[in-house]
Amino acid sequence: MRTLCLLAIVGTLLGLYGCATVATPLPAYLYNNVKGPIDADGSFEPTKTGEACATSILGLVATGDASIAAAKAAGGIKEVSTVDYNTTSVLLIYAQFCTIVKGR
């Protein structure tokens, strides 16, 4: 009976495994912290930075606004120079995607 309960628990955990994922060019199962570009004009030197994030837990609950518009508003940016992202995930249980906008 104990073995059966242990197998049920392991089966349940494996069923949930991988539920909290984020867009990233290099997925990792244990820990992931990757930065990368989305878009770049680069025609001027940015003086302001804004960040907006969305978070997921087990893929069951996801909240946040990681849009470029939200990142612009957070940084008080009117003209965009670059847009980057940062993704973080831990054991595929917790995941976060952040959009980073630089401009003036």
Q: What is the pLDDT of residues 25-64, one digit of tens each?
A: 677 778 888 898 888 887 899 999 999 999 999 888 999 9
Q: Which residue has the higher pLDDT, 17 or 56?
A: 56
For the beta carbon of residue 51, count every other beta carbon within 10 angstroms: 16
Give the confidence band of 91 by pLDDT, cuts at 50, 70, 90: confident
From 9-18, 75-84, 93-102, the region with the lowest mean pLDDT: 9-18
Q: pLDDT at position 69, please?
A: 97
Contact 85, 97 (CB under 8 A): yes
The total number of residues written for the chain in this structure: 104
CB proximity list for 64: less than 8 A, separation 6 or greater: 52, 53, 54, 55
What's the pTM value of the predicted model, to 2 decimals? 0.75
